[in-house]
Amino acid sequence: MSQNGKIEKWLADLDIDTFGVADMSLYGEEITGIGDLTVGELPFAVSFGIVLSRGILETLSDGPTQLYLHHYRQLNYRLDMIAYFLGRSIEREGFRAVPFAASQVVDWQRQRGHINHKKVGVMAGLGWIGRNNLLVHPVFGARARYNTVLTDMPLEADTRLEEDCGSCIRCLEICPAGAIRMEPALFDHHGCYDMLSRFRKERNIGHHICGVCVKACGGKS
């Protein structure tokens, strides 16, 4: 079995919905939390995702709810555990692995985590960055959450998808912050964050989440 085949089998056993492999030499951003290790020493990233519950998303109307918050946190916890188990399987083969947290802000000023899961997912061929500033999968849309494991296991990187949102504007029409534009590069990060902060306070959510554009984005299927 190839090394990529082993990754596929391990992740299938962990009930992952989608995964891909990225060549980290193309990443070009800062990665925090890996100590003295460098991208050169961990040249590959396994990006994997789990689809959110359709039933939970259907309960959303104009913003986040306590039910959605619980679901969101449980998926992040599941993704963290999968990263751990995948990393352990890789290490059992004699290679190095660094599993990350699915959702952990380490730089509040810039709202950044250890690694940009969305960018790694794009590099791994899982989708593209949509108008909603989320990773859009061709089948699942934005209705999935992702995590990343870096490794020196010799893998074959996947090809980046040359697709985009086309003429779809479902998320643009429904965004409560009015932060989404036709051109993805013009997404209003500050406007979105201000709305998330408002939801966090007014709805007693305790987390910067929304879910409205996630619900709206069901991919091209």
pLDDT 10s digits, 160-183: 999 999 999 999 999 999 999 999
Record the tokens describing residue 93, joined without a space. 């083969």
pLDDT at 221 over 50: no
- Closest to 43 (Cα-Cα) out of 55, 34, 51: 34
Residue 110: per-residue pLDDT = 55
pTM of the entire structure? 0.93
For residue 33, the cross-strand partners are none
- Closest to 52 (Cα-Cα) out of 215, 219, 216, 205: 215
Residue 187: per-residue pLDDT = 95
Residue 114: per-residue pLDDT = 86
Residue 33: per-residue pLDDT = 81
| Residue 99 DSSP code | E
- Closest to 11 (Cα-Cα) out of 211, 160, 182, 155: 155
pLDDT above 90 covers what percent of the chain? 84
| Residue 148 DSSP code | E
pLDDT at 194 over 60: yes
Residue 101: per-residue pLDDT = 93
Domain chopping of the chain, boundaries: 3-216
